[in-house]
Structure 1
Amino acid sequence: MGASEWDYYVPYQEDLNAALQQLRRAVFEAGDYYWVNGADWRPQEEREPRPQSLEALWEDELVQEAGTHSILDVFHVVGPDDTPDYNTVEPVTAEEARELLGVDRLTRAHVKDFDVFPRSRWIARCAVLHDDEGKPQEIRFWGHSGD
Structure 2
Amino acid sequence: MGASGWSYYVAYQPDLGRALDELRTRVFRDGDYWWAEPYELGKSASDFPDRPRTEQELWASEAVQESGTHSILDVHGMVAPGEKPGFGTVEPVTEAEALATAGVAKLTRAHVAAIDDLASQRWFGRCAVLHDDAGSPSEIYFWGFSGD
Q: CA separation in 1, counterparts of 2:5 and 2:53?
A: 25
The match for 2:84 is: 83
Deviations 1:84-125 (A, max 9, x none): 011100100111111222211000000121234253111000
Q: Is the 8 A contact 2:101 2:115 kept in 1?
A: no
Q: Deviations over 1:38-77 (max 9, x none)?
A: 2337xxxxx9931111122112211111000000000011
Aligned residue in 2 for 1:92: 93
The one-letter code matched in structure 2 to 1:21 is D
**Residue 138 (structure 1) aligns with:** 139
In structure 2, what is the equivalent of residue 31 of structure 1? Answer: 31
- Point out the structure with max Rg over C-alpha: 1
Q: Is the Cα contact below 8 Å between 1:38 and 1:50 reproduced in 2?
A: no
Distance across 2 between alignment mates of 1:138 and 1:22: 14
CA–CA separation in structure 1 for the residues paired with 2:62 and 2:25:
21
Q: Where does residue 14 of structure 2 map in the other structure? A: 14
- Name the CA distance, whole Å, in 1 between partners of 2:103 and 2:4: 29
Q: Which amino acid aligns with 1:36?
A: A
Q: Percent identity?
A: 55
Q: 3-state SS of the aligned residue for 2:22?
A: helix
Matched residues, number: 142
User: What secondary structure does 2:37 align onto?
Assistant: helix
For residues 85 and 107 of structure 1, the distance between their equivalents in structure 2, rounded to whole angstroms, comes to: 27
Residue 146 to residue 118, structure 1, CA distance change in 2 (3 Å): closer
Q: Which runs of 5+ in 2 are unaligned?
A: 42-47
Is the contact between residue 119 and residue 143 of structure 2 (CA under 8 Å) also seen in structure 1? Answer: no
CA RMSD of superposed structures (Å): 1.6
**Structure-2 separation of matches of 1:52 and 1:98:** 42
Show the counterpart of 1:3: 3
